[in-house]
Copies of this chain bind each other. A is one copy, B any other.
Amino acid sequence: MENLINYLLQFGQLNPQQIDLVKDKAKEIYVKKEEYFSEAGKVARQVGFMIDGIMRVCYYNHKGEEVTRYFIDENNFVVDLNSFNYQIPSSEYVQAITDCKLIVFSHSALTELSGTIIGWDSMVNKITSKSLLQKIERISPLVAEDATTRYLRFMERYPTLTNRIPLSYLASYLGITQSSLSRIRKNVRL
């Protein structure tokens, strides 16, 4: 819980009372490996803050292939924003890659915090835009660089992850086939 509070304090001020308000609304949950935090076709009910573990966001493209859009690790929020904000059915899946522990808030809890804490909206604003911009920064270079570079960059960003996730997830994230990734790995090892 302290992790979450520290994270929030980076984006604005909260007095002890307000911190208690936040804590009151928070709930700790666990999501087992392979299970979904939110699913396509359903409304995202909660926003989560990752305490432990890794998740991924994926969808099915027009060819029916599963594509991993991004990975989310500790000390980051995980949420299907479009679905959560407007409480409409989602078009993507958020799935635990490892066993995960997270702190969650329901939609109504956040609405209440927004009404109770002055400056809450501004904090949410900063957190949202920072995290979305980060995602863009991460995806963007994937378009312009060759596959080997993309793989190397991924290893820099998620050094501990590279060998803990299925090859297929990583390949679809990088926009290449499993075999290509396997070959690239071989070359990089040499």
Chain A residues near B (Cβ < 8 Å): 61, 65, 67, 69, 81-82, 85, 114, 121-122, 124-126, 128-129, 132-133, 135-136, 139-145, 172-175
Whether B139 and A139, one on each chain, are in contact in the complex, defined by CB atoms closer than 8 angstroms, is yes
Whether A144 and B81, one on each chain, are in contact in the complex, defined by CB atoms closer than 8 angstroms, is no
Q: Looking at A82, A125, A140, which has the most chain B CB atoms within 10 Å of its CB? A: A140
Whether B143 and A143, one on each chain, are in contact in the complex, defined by CB atoms closer than 8 angstroms, is yes
Whether B67 and A133, one on each chain, are in contact in the complex, defined by CB atoms closer than 8 angstroms, is no
Per assembly, the copies of the chain total 2
Known pairs A61-B141, A125-B124, A144-B61; A133 contacts B132 (CB<8 A): yes
21 intermolecular pairs with C-beta atoms under 8 Å apart: A61-B141, A61-B145, A65-B144, A67-B140, A69-B136, A69-B140, A85-B126, A85-B129, A121-B121, A125-B128, A128-B129, A129-B132, A132-B132, A132-B133, A132-B136, A136-B136, A139-B140, A142-B143, A143-B173, A143-B175, A144-B172
Contacts of A67 in B (CB 8 A): 140, 144
Indicate which residue in B122, B136, B174 contacts A139 across the interface (CB closer than 8 Å).
Answer: B136
A10–chain B nearest beta-carbon distance, Å:
12
Contacts of A69 in B (CB 8 A): 136, 140
Whether A144 and B175, one on each chain, are in contact in the complex, defined by CB atoms closer than 8 angstroms, is yes
Indicate which residue in B122, B125, B139 contacts A143 across the interface (CB closer than 8 Å).
Answer: B139
Give the CA-CA distance A139 to B85 in the complex, in Å.
Answer: 21
A66–chain B nearest beta-carbon distance, Å:
10
